[in-house]
Amino acid sequence: MQHSASRLLGLIPTLLVLITIAFFLIRLAPGGPFDSEKILPPEIKANLDVKYHLDEPLLMQYFRYLGQIITLDFGPSFQYKDWTVNELIARGFPVSMTIGGLAVLLAFLLGTLIGIVAAMKQNTGTDYSLMGVAMLGISIPNFVVAPLLILLVAVYAGWLPAGGWDWSVQRMVLPVLTLALPTTAYIARLTRGSMIEVLHSNYIRTARAKGLPELLVILRHALKPALLPVISFMGPATAGLITGSVVIERIYSIPGLGSYFVQGALNRDYTLVMGVVIFYGVIIILLNFIVDLLYAWMNPRIRYNEVQ
């Protein structure tokens, strides 16, 4: 437990590097948060710069922002009037979390099942068919799958709505399915390869020699070690699905955090972009930390505290 806490504290420098790079990069981009087609009078722009401390030297702005971050205050949004970045994150993240979380669950269950079936039917028509479909799922990007699903399922068949959001199951199906398909394909291929290797292990031969049913051999002896590569993949994959739904949210007109991020980047809303980047960064770091712990729990031979 003590070593896990020290490992978690060791992730703070990574977050600091992320904050520093994001802070200076967004200010290197041309334009500013108050630039628009209508040019503001110089005195009004000067007053806005003073209000948001944009008139200070860049290094002073940086340390001022670090002081705000320590208190978990991301500041006001420059473009969404009367909204703070904390409020926008609290408003948009539950939507992104719901879509991403359901996509992760669907991808894990479906991908694992497909991988196990393909491994048990190795080098048969079933195996080739499943892996062929998986390769197709990996090859086709989300921004191609989404319009196709809208066209076939929503427009032609009329089974589901084409977009929008109201927390109904009907609104969730298409975006969740679009997000889950590529990850399902990756998990299926990882599970198949790992399961085939495990099924050729000596202890699996011993279990079969004792007369155990094949299903029991898979569930009791082969599944846990076969899922180790999948667990390693699930950390960045989960973070990617939760934080990488920007395109999907735009296509399906979903008011998630990704939509705020895109709009904030286009409008040079410094505080909003920084808040979303830091928030997503923390999620990615924590998810990878949790995966490390799960990996050690599932594989007793791994003990991080033995590494000096």
Please give the Cα distance from 257 to 247 (Å, whole number).
11
Compare 83 and 235 and report the one with higher pLDDT: 83
Q: Is residue 306 part of a domain?
A: no
CATH code of the domain covering residue 191:
1.10.3720.10
Q: Report the C-alpha gap between 196 and 248 in whole angstroms.
A: 34
3 in any annotated domain: no
Alpha-carbon gap, residue 252 to 265, rounded angstroms: 19
Name the CA dihedral angle for 154, 155, 157, 159, rounded to a multiple of 10 degrees: 30
Listed in sequence order, the DSSP H helices in the chain are: 2-9, 12-28, 42-51, 58-70, 85-120, 125-139, 142-149, 169-199, 202-209, 214-216, 223-226, 228-243, 246-251, 257-266, 270-298
Give the confidence band of 300 by pLDDT, cuts at 50, 70, 90. Answer: low
CB 285 within 8 A of CB 15: yes
Has residue 56 been placed in a domain? no
Which residue in the block uniquely carries the two structure tokens 């702005």? 61
Q: Which residue has the higher pLDDT, 267 or 86?
A: 86
Please, which residues bridge with residue 76 across strands? 84
Q: Could you read off the pLDDT of 166-224 as tens digits, one per residue?
A: 888 888 999 999 988 888 999 999 999 888 888 888 877 887 787 778 778 887 778 88
| Domain contains 137 | yes
Number of domains in the chain: 1
Instruction: Return the pLDDT at 164.
Output: 83
Q: How much is the pTM?
A: 0.78
**Residue 148 domain-assigned (yes or no):** yes
Terminal Cα-to-Cα distance of the chain (whole angstroms): 16
Q: What local confidence, expressed as pLDDT, does residue 299 receive?
A: 61
Range of the domain at 125: 93-267
With respect to residue 168, please indicate whether it lies within any of the assigned structural domains.
yes
Q: What is the mean pLDDT of residues 8-18?
A: 79
How do residues 89-113 score in pLDDT, each as one tens digit? 898 888 888 888 899 999 999 999 9
Query: What per-residue confidence (pLDDT) applies to 248?
Result: 84
Report yes or no on 35 lying in a domain.
no
In a domain, residue 112? The reply is yes
What's the pLDDT band for 306 if we cut at 50, 70, 90? very low
